[in-house]
Amino acid sequence: MPEFFNVLPPDEARELLFRHLTAVLPAETVETANALGRVTAVTITAPHSLPAFRRSTMDGYAVHAADTYGASQSLPALLQVVGEVPMGKPAHITLQPGQAVIVHTGGMIPETADAVVPVEWTQIITPTTTPTPPYEIEILKAVAVGQNVLQIGEDVHQNANILPAGHILRPQDLGGLLALGITHVQVIRQPRVAILSTGDEVIPPDQTPLPGQIRDINSYTVAGLTRQAGGIPILSGIIPDDFNALEKAARRALADTDMLVMSAGSSVSVRDMTVQVIDQLGEPGVLLHGVATRPGKPTIVGVVGTKPVLGLPGNPVSAMIQYDMFGVPAIYRLQGVKVMPRRGLVWARLTQNIASESGREDYIPARLSETDEGLLATPVFGKSNLIYTLVNADGLIKVPLNKGGLLAGEMVEVRLFD
């Protein structure tokens, strides 16, 4: 235990954890089309420019812009249409002065053209429904050089950095990569997260509890948050409150995973046992025991080698909020994500006072409702043992460290659940 602080503010606690999470997991190659939510392992550059040829942005005529200068409704320019560039075909036609070529939106324009006149700005002199070139048109409005033309590389230039390492791939990123023919992409392997529940009272959800027993909740809320962050949850069982059993289970669970989470029970003796187990697992061990938040103060944050190890409070609300605060960022860090994904926030008017203590960050579950007066946030009060306070909430209201509470009627920021 190289550094031990009794209670740290959450931001400092997370920084302390991050200082010990220096290693990123190994990379693997996957199909780009299946890489949604995965994290890039390297900087990706453009193998060629996009577009690779000059494209029209309108249905109309490719022209020499100079041939249209001065054109107007009353004094149109006269051009001869000499052909058409079909979609998906090269524009082989060479344009002579005074000539125009039919082009379609997205189609290639001839090398000798430098602008496109939209069809709406033209008039066919001999009106037939489908004239065949050659025929003559009047240009009713001038175009400038480059007008209605996408230039080579206007989307992205060859060799440009298109995505940095540590980037979480979104739908548009997949589209951007595939547009360049990047059909495979190097991403970081998904972190495998071992989840242990501890407690003599805890039984699997498919069993019927006897008096004094409760079903495991935390394994499943932690597994859900793990999946949302791109990790693979490995449910590693329910362990009784026994040092040797927990130490053995933790060691085995950590051996073939990248991170370990123990839902550590809420009694002081069980928490102390978890601290000792983490220290036994290897260096540096427990980094801190206690975070200045409510709920969740007795959270244990540790690292074994380069693997994060967390001891969560047994209360389901505390466990979930603390895992979101430390476990989720750790999963992103293991994938090389440097800037954590921005969380969705909404502003809403608070319907009731919230008391808090200065020097502590409070998180209060809140339900949102759309009303004539705008969005309202109603705190869902309840002890941190009550999972349904989270089920009945849409997000969390944060009361900052230095505030003594929030007043009814105040506008507050509600951090949305994913």
- Scan residues 46-75 and list those touching a copy of itself (CB under 8 A): 50-53, 55, 57, 59
63, 81, 139, 156: residue in contact with a copy of itself (rule CB under 8 A): 156
- How many residues of this chain interact with a copy of itself, rule: CB under 8 A? 95
Contact stretch for a copy of itself (CB under 8 A) within 10-18, 64-72, 134-142, 390-398:
390-398
81, 180, 278, 301: residue in contact with a copy of itself (rule CB under 8 A): 180
User: Shortest Cβ distance from residue 3 to a copy of itself (Å)?
Assistant: 27
8, 65, 100, 163: residue in contact with a copy of itself (rule CB under 8 A): 163
25, 65, 79, 85: residue in contact with a copy of itself (rule CB under 8 A): 85
Residue 146 makes contact with a copy of itself by CB under 8 A: no
Q: How far apart are CA 271 and CA 290, in angstroms?
A: 11
Residue 346 makes contact with a copy of itself by CB under 8 A: yes
Residue 179 makes contact with a copy of itself by CB under 8 A: yes
Residue 43 makes contact with a copy of itself by CB under 8 A: no
Q: How far apart are CA 341 and CA 363, in angstroms?
A: 19
Residue 416 makes contact with a copy of itself by CB under 8 A: yes
User: Shortest Cβ distance from residue 28 to a copy of itself (Å)?
Assistant: 19
Q: How far apart are CA 271 and CA 312, in angstroms?
A: 9
Q: How far apart are CA 351 and CA 12, in angstroms?
A: 31
Contact stretch for a copy of itself (CB under 8 A) within 147-155, 185-193, 304-312, 352-360:
147-155
8, 100, 137, 174: residue in contact with a copy of itself (rule CB under 8 A): 174
Q: How far apart are CA 96 and CA 322, in angstroms?
A: 71
- Scan residues 324-343 and list those touching a copy of itself (CB under 8 A): 342-343
| 412: number of Cβ within 10 Å | 19
Output 222 or 260, the one with its CB closest to a copy of itself: 222
Contact stretch for a copy of itself (CB under 8 A) within 15-23, 72-80, 133-141, 387-395:
387-395
User: Shortest Cβ distance from residue 204 to a copy of itself (Å)?
Assistant: 9
User: Shortest Cβ distance from residue 413 to a copy of itself (Å)?
Assistant: 10
Residue 104 makes contact with a copy of itself by CB under 8 A: yes
User: Shortest Cβ distance from residue 266 to a copy of itself (Å)?
Assistant: 4
User: Shortest Cβ distance from residue 383 to a copy of itself (Å)?
Assistant: 6
- Scan residues 115-144 and list those touching a copy of itself (CB under 8 A): none
Burial class of 382 by CB neighbour count within 10 A (0 to 12, 13 to 18, 19+)? middle
Question: What residues pair up with 62 in beta bridges, in sequence order?
Answer: 101, 116
- Scan residues 1-30 and list those touching a copy of itself (CB under 8 A): none
323 is written with which tokens?
A: 């895992």
Output 23 or 144, the one with its CB closest to a copy of itself: 144
Residue 112 makes contact with a copy of itself by CB under 8 A: no
Residue 266 makes contact with a copy of itself by CB under 8 A: yes
> What is the residue whose two structure tokens read 């089309």?
33
Q: How far apart are CA 168 and CA 177, in angstroms?
A: 13
Residue 300 makes contact with a copy of itself by CB under 8 A: no
Name residues whose C-beta falls within 8 Å of residue 165's C-beta, 6 or more positions apart in sequence. Answer: 40, 41, 42, 43, 336
User: Shortest Cβ distance from residue 46 to a copy of itself (Å)?
Assistant: 9
- Scan residues 391-410 and list those touching a copy of itself (CB under 8 A): 391, 394
**For the window 211-250, what string marks contact with a copy of itself as x by the rule CB under 8 A?**
xxxxxxxx-xxxxxx-xx------------x---------
Output 77 or 364, the one with its CB closest to a copy of itself: 364
| 105: number of Cβ within 10 Å | 14
97, 181, 305, 409: residue in contact with a copy of itself (rule CB under 8 A): 181
Name residues whose C-beta falls within 8 Å of residue 278's C-beta, 6 or more positions apart in sequence. Answer: 250, 285, 286, 300, 302, 304, 309, 311
- Scan residues 362-381 and list those touching a copy of itself (CB under 8 A): 368
